[in-house]
C-alpha cells in the first residue's frame, strides 16, 4: 500500500510552525500505531510539539486520532449516570480509593480506569494490589456487571483503549517530552473519552510534587483538557489542587490503603477528607445531584459498604491484613519550631527509592515500603520529636532515601502562610 503522507513532511511542518493538515496528523498517529512511522520519527514530532505547541483544533484532532486507534466503550445500557475522575498525579494521592465508593453510594456509576505509578508518583492499581487477592484486570462484561451492581470499579484499562497513546506515552518518557501540554492533554483525554463516561472531573495538581510546578501551566493544561472533553460531549470540570506537600500522612501503597479506609470510616487526615469531599461534590453535581450530602455518607457507613463490596467483587479480602515492612527508620527534629515546608517531590523520590515505586514499567513495587509523616506544615515541634518514619523490606535502602530527603523538611520560628488545597475551578 502506498502511504498518502511522508512522516518527514509532517515533522517539518510541526517544527516550522506552518501547520499540519488534519488528514496528515490523523495519518501520523495511525501510521505510528501500525509501526510504519518509527519511534525516532515520532520522537522528533513530539519534540517539535514540545517546542512549538499546538492550537486547540490540532490538539482536538490529535486526541480524536488517538481515540480512533482503538476501541470505544459505552455505558449506555447501565441505566445509571456515569462519572469518572482523573488526577494528573502526585505524592500521597490516594483520593481515588475513598472517592469512587463514596460517589457510587449515591447511585452513580463510577468506572475508574486507573494506572500504575512510575517515578515519584504513585499508582492507584499498585496501592490496591496491596490487598490480598485483589485483581486489577476486569473483562468488559465483568466491569459492566460490577457497575450495575456495586456501582464502582477501579481497574486497569484494556489494551484496546487508545493503543496509540500507550506507545506514545512510553516514548515521551524516554525522550524528554513528558511536559508538552498538548501531549499530556491528548494522552489523558483520549483514554477518558474512549472509556465512554458521560462526565469527568479532573484533579490537576500543581507544585513541587506535580508534573506542573507552575500555576499558569497547570491552568493551561486544565483549560485544554476541559475543552477537549466538552468538544467530545463529555461534561468536564477541572479543579487545580496543591501538590507542594504530600497528601495525608501516608506515602506508599499498603499504608495509603489503610489511610483511605480511615477516611471511609469517618476519620483520616483533614486534607485527604477535604479533597475527597470536594471532588465527590463536583462529580455528583455533574451526575445531577448538586445537593448530595457527601460528608454524611462518610460518617454513616454507606461509602464503606460500597468499598467492601467493590474490593470483594475484584476477589480482594477487605478484612485481610495488609503487608507490613520488615525495617523502619525514624527521623526526628533537630530543634524546636514550626514546620514550614515538607517538599512533596523529595518525599515522592524517597518513597520510590524505598521500593514503593518503580523506575521502569516492568519493575515490581514493594507494597509495604513507604513513609509515614508524623507532622505536617504548620505543626509545632520540639527537639527530638519524630518527623517521619521510613519503611522498607531492606534496610540498605534507607541511605539513598535519606539522601533524597536532605533539606526536605524546613522548621522555622513562625507559622508559615499555607497555600489553599484547592486553587481554582475551571469549567467550559
Q: Which member of 81, 172, 358, 397 is catalytic? A: 172
CA proximity to 251, closest of 343, 180, 159, 165: 343
- The pLDDT assigned to 14 comes to 97
pTM of the model: 0.94
Q: Which member of 105, 187, 190, 232 is catalytic? A: 187
Asked if 242 and 93 count as a contact pair (C-beta separation under 8 A), the reply is no
Active-site residue, 374 included? no
Q: Could you give all domains of the chain from N- to C-terminal order, each with its CATH number?
A: 7-52 (no CATH), 76-320 (3.40.1030.10), 327-412 (3.90.1170.30)
Q: Which member of 81, 86, 223, 249 is catalytic? A: 86
Task: Kindly write down the DSSP assignment for every residue of 96-115, as one continuous string.
Answer: HHHHHHHHHTTT-BEEEEE-
- The pLDDT assigned to 426 comes to 98
For residue 50, the tally of other CB atoms under 10 A from its CB is 18
Cell of 395: 534496610
Q: Which member of 120, 127, 191, 308 is catalytic? A: 191
- The pLDDT assigned to 118 comes to 66
Strand ranges in 18-166 using DSSP code E only, listed in sequence order: 84-87, 110-114, 152-156
pLDDT tens-place string over residues 20-47: 999 999 999 999 999 999 999 999 999 9
CA 286-292-293 angle, to 5 degrees, is 145
Active-site residue, 187 included? yes
Active-site residue, 127 included? no
Q: Which member of 58, 165, 203, 231 is catalytic? A: 165
Which pairing describes strands 250-252 and 152-156: parallel, antiparallel, or unpaired?
A: unpaired
Distance CA 272, CA 288 (A): 24
What are the residue ranges in the chain where pLDDT is below 70?
118-119, 361
Active-site residue, 6 included? no
Asked if 218 and 212 count as a contact pair (C-beta separation under 8 A), the reply is yes
Active-site residue, 423 included? no
Please compute Rg for the chain using Cα positions.
22
Instruction: Encode burial over 155-185: b for 16+ CB neighbours within 10 A, e otherwise.
Output: bbbbeebbebbbbbbebbeebebbebbbbbb
- The pLDDT assigned to 166 comes to 87
Largest distance between two CA atoms of the chain:
73
Amino acid at each position: 500500500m502506498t502511504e498518502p503522507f511522508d512522516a518527514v513532511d509532517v515533522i517539518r511542518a510541526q517544527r516550522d510552525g506552518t501547520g499540519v493538515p488534519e488528514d496528515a496528523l490523523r495519518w501520523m498517529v495511525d501510521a505510528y500505531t501500525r509501526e510504519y512511522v518509527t519511534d525516532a520519527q515520532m520522537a522528533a514530532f513530539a519534540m517539535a510539539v514540545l517546542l512549538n505547541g499546538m492550537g486547540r483544533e490540532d490538539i482536538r484532532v490529535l486526541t480524536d486520532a488517538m481515540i480512533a486507534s482503538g476501541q470505544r466503550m459505552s455505558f449506555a445500557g447501565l441505566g445509571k449516570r456515569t462519572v469518572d475522575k482523573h488526577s494528573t498525579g502526585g505524592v500521597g494521592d490516594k483520593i481515588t480509593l475513598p472517592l469512587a465508593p463514596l460517589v457510587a453510594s449515591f447511585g452513580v456509576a463510577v468506572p475508574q480506569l486507573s494506572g500504575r505509578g512510575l517515578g515519584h508518583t504513585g499508582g492507584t492499581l499498585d496501592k490496591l494490589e496491596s490487598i490480598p487477592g485483589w485483581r486489577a484486570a476486569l473483562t468488559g462484561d465483568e466491569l459492566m456487571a460490577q457497575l450495575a451492581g456495586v456501582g464502582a470499579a477501579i481497574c486497569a484499562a484494556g489494551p484496546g483503549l487508545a493503543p496509540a497513546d500507550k506507545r506514545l506515552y512510553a516514548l515521551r518518557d524516554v525522550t524528554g517530552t513528558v511536559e508538552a501540554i498538548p501531549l499530556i492533554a491528548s494522552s489523558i483525554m483520549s483514554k477518558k473519552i474512549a472509556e465512554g463516561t458521560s462526565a469527568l472531573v479532573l484533579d490537576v495538581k500543581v507544585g513541587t510534587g506535580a508534573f506542573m510546578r507552575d500555576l499558569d501551566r497547570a491552568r493551561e493544561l486544565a483549560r485544554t483538557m476541559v475543552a477537549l472533553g466538552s468538544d467530545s460531549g463529555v461534561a468536564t470540570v477541572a479543579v487545580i489542587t496543591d501538590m507542594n506537600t504530600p497528601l495525608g500522612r501516608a506515602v506508599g501503597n499498603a499504608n495509603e490503603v489503610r489511610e483511605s479506609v480511615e477516611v471511609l470510616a469517618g476519620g483520616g487526615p483533614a486534607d485527604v477528607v477535604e479533597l475527597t469531599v470536594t471532588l465527590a461534590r463536583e462529580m455528583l453535581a455533574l451526575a445531577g445531584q448538586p445537593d448530595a450530602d457527601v460528608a454524611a455518607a462518610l460518617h454513616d457507613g454507606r461509602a464503606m459498604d460500597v468499598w467492601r463490596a467493590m474490593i470483594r467483587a475484584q476477589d480482594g479480602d477487605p478484612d485481610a491484613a495488609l503487608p507490613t515492612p520488615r525495617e523502619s527508620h525514624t527521623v526526628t527534629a533537630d530543634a524546636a519550631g514550626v514546620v514550614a515546608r515538607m517538599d512533596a517531590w523529595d518525599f515522592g523520590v524517597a518513597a520510590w527509592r524505598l521500593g514503593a515505586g518503580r523506575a521502569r514499567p516492568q519493575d515490581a513495587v514493594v507494597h509495604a515500603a513507604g513513609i509515614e509523616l508524623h507532622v505536617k506544615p504548620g505543626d509545632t515541634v520540639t527537639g527530638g520529636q519524630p518527623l517521619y518514619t521510613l519503611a522498607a523490606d531492606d534496610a540498605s535502602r534507607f541511605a539513598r532515601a535519606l539522601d533524597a530527603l536532605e533539606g526536605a523538611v524546613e522548621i522555622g520560628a513562625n507559622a508559615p502562610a499555607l497555600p489553599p488545597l484547592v486553587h481554582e475551578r475551571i469549567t467550559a
